Amino acid sequence: MPSRLLIVSLYYWPEETGTAPYATDLAEHLAGAGHDVTVLTGLPHYPAWRVEEGYGRSGVEERAGVRIVRRRHTVPRRQSALRRAAYEASFLASALPFRCQPRPDAVVGFVPSLASGALARINAARARAAYGVILHDLVGVAAAQTGISGGQRAATAVALAERWVMRRATVVAPLTDLFVPYLTGLGVAEERIEVLPVWSRMPPPAADRSHSRRTLGWRDDELVALHAGNMGLKQGLEQLVDAARLADEQRLPVRFVLVGDGNQRQALEQRARGIERIEFRPLVPEADFPAVLAAADVLVVAERPSVRQMSFPSKLTAYFKAGRPVVAAVDPASPTAREIERAGAGLVVPAGDPRKLIDAIITLNGDPAGSSAKAASAQAFARTIMGREVILSRAEGLVDRLIARTAAIRGISG
């Protein structure tokens, strides 16, 4: 008899960035393995922070053998701690009446949404089942470090909510071991922590690179430095705009390209007015994404100078597959910096220093052999350490552990 599983994730298909693809992959993998999977989620809205057309209300649908239960919630166009709290609270309130029937044998919550983690704990308690948390962001740390309005004042309360979500979980699965000290500080026992990295979802690029550049309008004599993904507060993309302004002033053959969307895009476009060496492009369809990344000369990841331990950008899994070197403008002690160094994928420069960012990009471009070696090392790292099937198999093992724990709970309780 198949086990019944409930996955709670505010972010899910058809969203293509952030946590959503990983929640979707796991749910569909578990359904393919024979489990009866229900996903409790919100309305597709990320990273644009507006609800996708056709998804204005709560409802139920099915995809790839997974039952998807959507609950309506607010979507703030501008970010502040208060608006973020209202956003999470609205999903929590909307989804709270839902009861998975028949009762699940295990519940998994995806965090960066604390509401998702809270709903996982609540639904597990209702069903007398074990639950686990897959942790992609440290929410309390994020409140303090991203620069969101009111975040410093909210950080303590958010950390208390995190502790409540995590402390009864049978398994807490952060995506990096750098999150472990924070979790043990919340009171999570080390034996309940199992690191579960994100996996590489993107296939290697297959399109002709020269043709892709021509299609995108990029000249052969310019150096394209591309950032793809969310344009939010924690990315600190102002430093890319400022680097493009420096490139203009010095007439450097560098073009900065920002691909994606997010709550800071409009502000970034305003900051970039009059700058010649920068362009903004919309989100790229998943099928075209490998070719766009591979057409760049350098791939850029950026974080605010204050972001130190809170998150790991999932875009790196795609960057590593693309066959291009990476430059990271991040805190040197961050999970992002460590992963790039582990992969031998590129160079790390301090966040918030546009001059050093440009210098690193030009240095890589001036060393074709070194750049090729870094790109090859990144691809090998993505293929082995970030292998999709390997990590999904580990995730399935975590779910099996939850199912076994549920059996024990129900057996003890009669």
Tokens of 133: 């948390």
- Model's pTM, two decimal places? 0.84
Cis, peptide link before residue 174, omega less than 30° from 0: no
Q: Residue 308's pLDDT band (boundaries 50, 70, 90)?
A: low
Domain count, the chain: 2
Pairing of strands 59-63, 66-70: antiparallel
Residue 107's identity, in one-letter code, is V
Pairing of strands 66-70, 346-349: unpaired
- Asked, for residue 204, whether it belongs to a domain, the answer is no
CB atoms within 10 A of CB 381: 21
Tell whether 156 and 217 lie within a shared domain: no
Q: Residue 42 belongs to a domain with what CATH number?
A: 3.40.50.2000
Q: Cα(283)–Cα(389) distance, rounded to whole angstroms? A: 26
If you average pLDDT over residues 79-106, what whole number do you get?
Answer: 92
Q: Cα 302–307–308 angle (5° rounding)? A: 110
- Asked, for residue 271, whether it belongs to a domain, the answer is yes
Tell whether 368 and 393 lie within a shared domain: no
pLDDT in tens, 100-141: 999 999 999 999 999 999 999 999 999 999 999 999 988 766
pLDDT in tens, 132-184: 999 998 876 655 555 455 555 566 777 888 999 999 999 999 998 888 998 99
Tell whether 310 and 399 lie within a shared domain: no
Tell whether 261 and 322 lie within a shared domain: yes
Residues, the chain, total? 414
- Bridge partners for 62 per DSSP: 67
Contact 126, 104 (CB under 8 A): no
Structural domain including 11 reads 4-199+387-413
- Asked, for residue 84, whether it belongs to a domain, the answer is yes
Tell whether 167 and 263 lie within a shared domain: no
pLDDT at residue 414 in the model: 45
Give the contacts of 112 (CB within 8 A, at least 6 positions apart). 18, 19, 136, 137, 139, 142, 311
- Asked, for residue 157, whether it belongs to a domain, the answer is yes
Tokens of 384: 């082995």
Tell whether 225 and 179 lie within a shared domain: no
Pairing of strands 106-111, 130-135: parallel
pLDDT in tens, 349-366: 999 999 999 999 999 989
